């Protein structure tokens, strides 16, 4: 796929399945989609919004990319790869970083019908649980068919192990989220379990297993969140 902008006939043929296949080839997954005209997704008028995120193939793909050998590899890789997707597919691109202002990814995720609020307040996704990592979004002028979402939140019939997993209660059902308590814990020897493997509350979500998250990736994110 070369040339910019793409031919109008090519743009007209774009579908949800097509976007998903291109995303998969690049180490991403489609984490949801919505029609802003129907859902009222913030800041958008009409068309189709597709949310892209990190799946199990993301981490090895990133480590093999040129961005890996430099600062902010995750965001720089996302900017290049999803920006290229936008040009190839004739879409407008948005990222959850680079602000302020920031694109309203939380609103878009909730409007997709595949992401929900968990008992501890953090977002939970229907296939990757609480190991959510949105990397970008594509907004297409065309309103094409997207899957109907009717399953509901994975938390509906869950005993909520996430609510008891944090050693210092930073993520709980009463207060979301005690950032100071989290950072203080991560600075201790006991907190190194979280630093090396990821947030225990997020890992406790049964659906999080579906993310296929490499502990090395979680450690990378934790280090960015709490640099030593």
Domain positions in the chain: 8-140, 162-225
Dmax (CA) of the chain: 59
**DSSP helix/strand/coil, 105:** helix
CB 137 within 8 Å of CB 51: yes
Judged against a pLDDT cut of 90, whether residue 166 lies above it is answered with yes
- pLDDT tens, residue by residue, 10-69: 667 899 999 999 999 999 999 999 999 999 999 999 999 999 999 999 999 999 999 999
To which residue do tokens 């995120």 refer? 53
pLDDT tens readout for residues 69-127 = 999 999 999 999 999 999 999 999 999 999 999 999 999 999 999 999 999 989 999 99
Q: Please report how the helices 215-225 and 73-89 are oriented relative to each other, as an axis angle in degrees rounded to 10.
A: 110
Q: What's the pTM value of the predicted model, to 2 decimals?
A: 0.92
Distance CA 104, CA 218 (A): 24
């Amino acid at each position: 796929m070369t040339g910019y902008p793409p031919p109008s006939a090519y743009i007209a043929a774009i579908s949800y399945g097509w976007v998903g296949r291109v995303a998969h080839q690049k180490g991403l997954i489609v984490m949801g989609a919505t029609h802003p005209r129907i859902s009222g997704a913030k800041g958008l008028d009409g068309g189709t919004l597709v949310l892209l995120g990190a799946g199990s193939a993301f981490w090895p793909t990133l480590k093999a990319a040129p961005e890996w050998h430099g600062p902010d590899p995750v965001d720089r890789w996302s900017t290049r790869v999803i920006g290229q997707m936008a040009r190839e597919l004739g879409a407008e691109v948005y990222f959850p970083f680079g602000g302020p202002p920031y694109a309203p990814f939380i609103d878009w995720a909730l409007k997709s019908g595949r992401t929900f609020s968990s008992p501890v307040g953090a977002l939970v996704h229907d296939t990757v649980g609480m190991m959510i990592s949105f990397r970008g979004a594509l907004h297409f002028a065309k309103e094409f068919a997207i899957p109907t979402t009717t399953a509901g939140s994975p938390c509906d019939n869950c005993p909520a192990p996430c609510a008891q997993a944090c050693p210092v209660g930073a993520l709980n059902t009463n207060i979301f989220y005690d950032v100071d308590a989290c950072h203080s814990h991560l600075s201790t020897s006991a907190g190194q379990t979280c630093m090396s493997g990821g947030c225990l509350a997020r890992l406790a979500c049964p659906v999080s297993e579906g993310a296929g998250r490499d502990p090395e990736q979680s450690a990378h994110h934790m280090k960015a969140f709490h640099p030593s």
